[in-house]
């Protein structure tokens, strides 16, 4: 664990926001990043619980090894921290920004309403890794000769494409929109996550040999039968843009709109 008495001595802290007078002037992210020293202090609060609920069944759905990388950050080992984080999570810079953080809900320190700032530390690890040049393409050294199509380039499609490419397969990703990212790009507004983070991840994945085909609507521009005939395997990662019904009276009235079509429309314009 980080600091044995850290959770007793250090208060929970997360990034502060820009003043309202500044953030109303733009639509970008407005959280002020914490310094490395501040992030390390937050990592020191991790208790290394006997049963770490943060990545158990009620915590992180991708089973991030949270106590491990908290300890690595506390000890200033950012390279090993991003390696550990990448072992379970292809895109920690995305989840560190938009994940609802069930890990913090499950944190033992949440019994006192002051959980470890896990999401803040996760984002800091990813951003620091980019700053230090630790995140680079890792192309396969052995190729299988197998060809795989991935339909959809949202987070599942991108992650699958990256893992398949690193396994040595020839991977082709088919995306209906003009740019990769799925709802990461078209469903999340810039103030939650700016799109340059998606672009640099796509460049890494391309550097690992994955080919993206944008503006291709599978089922319209190319048939599923054609993909099945031309590839050894086809992976369906289409996701869903169908809004979830609110189930409340008045939702059918004129002037009441679902958020999803609005967000997609506005992000396309941006």
How many other CB atoms sit within 10 Å of the CB of residue 126?
Answer: 25
Q: Which domains does the chain have, with CATH numbers?
A: 6-131 (1.10.1060.10), 141-270 (3.50.50.60)
Q: Up-side HSE of residue 19: CA atoms within 13 Å toward CB?
A: 2
DSSP 17: B
Beta strands in 139-266 (DSSP E): 147-151, 170-175, 211-214, 233-236
Give the pLDDT of residue 2. Answer: 67
Give the pLDDT of residue 75. Answer: 95
Q: Which residues contact 244 (CB under 8 A, 6 or more apart)?
A: none
Give the Cα separation of 249 and 230 in Å (integer).
49
pLDDT: which is higher, 193 or 239 = 193
**Phi/psi of residue 194, nearest 5 degrees:** -75, 150
Give the pLDDT of residue 200. Answer: 96
For 5-64, the pLDDT digits (tens) are: 889 899 999 999 999 999 999 999 999 999 999 999 999 999 878 889 998 788 999 999
pTM: 0.91
At residue 1 the predicted structure's pLDDT band, cuts being 50, 70 and 90, is: low
Give the pLDDT of residue 158. Answer: 98
At residue 79 the predicted structure's pLDDT band, cuts being 50, 70 and 90, is: very high
Give Cα 136 to chain centroid, integer Å. Answer: 17
For 200-216, the pLDDT digits (tens) are: 999 999 999 999 999 99
Q: Between the CA of residue 181 and those of 79, 80, 233, what are the distances in Å?
A: 26, 27, 21
Give the Cα separation of 186 and 170 in Å (integer).
27
Give the Cα separation of 84 and 88 in Å (integer).
7
Mean per-residue pLDDT over the chain, rounded: 94
In the chain, what percentage of residues exceed pLDDT 70?
Answer: 99
Q: Are 126 and 85 in contact (CB under 8 A)?
A: yes
């Amino acid at each position: 664990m980080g600091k044995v008495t850290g959770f007793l001595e250090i208060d929970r802290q997360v990034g502060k926001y820009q003043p309202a007078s500044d953030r109303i002037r733009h639509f970008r992210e407005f959280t002020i990043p914490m310094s490395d020293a501040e992030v390390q202090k937050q990592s020191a609060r991790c208790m290394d619980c006997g049963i770490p609920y943060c990545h158990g069944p009620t915590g992180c759905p991708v089973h991030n090894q949270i106590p491990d990388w908290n300890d690595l950050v506390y000890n200033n080992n950012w390279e090993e921290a991003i390696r550990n984080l990448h072992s379970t999570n292809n895109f920690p810079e995305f989840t560190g920004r938009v994940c609802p953080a069930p890990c913090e809900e499950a944190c033992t320190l949440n019994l006192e309403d002051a959980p470890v700032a896990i999401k803040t530390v996760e984002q800091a690890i990813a951003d620091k890794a980019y700053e230090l040049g630790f995140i680079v393409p890792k192309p396969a050294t052995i190729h299988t000769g197998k060809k795989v199509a991935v339909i959809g380039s949202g987070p599942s499609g991108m992650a699958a494409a990256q893992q398949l490419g690193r396994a040595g397969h020839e991977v082709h990703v088919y995306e209906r929109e003009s740019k990769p990212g799925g709802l990461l790009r078209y469903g999340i507004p810039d103030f939650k996550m700016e799109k340059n983070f998606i672009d640099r991840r796509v460049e890494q994945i391309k550097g690992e040999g994955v080919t993206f085909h944008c503006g291709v609507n599978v089922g319209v521009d190319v048939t599923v039968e054609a993909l099945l005939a031309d590839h050894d395997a086809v992976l369906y990662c289409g996701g869903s843009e169908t809004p979830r019904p609110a189930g409340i009276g008045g939702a059918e009235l004129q002037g009441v709109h679902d958020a999803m079509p609005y967000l997609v429309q506005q992000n396309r314009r941006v």
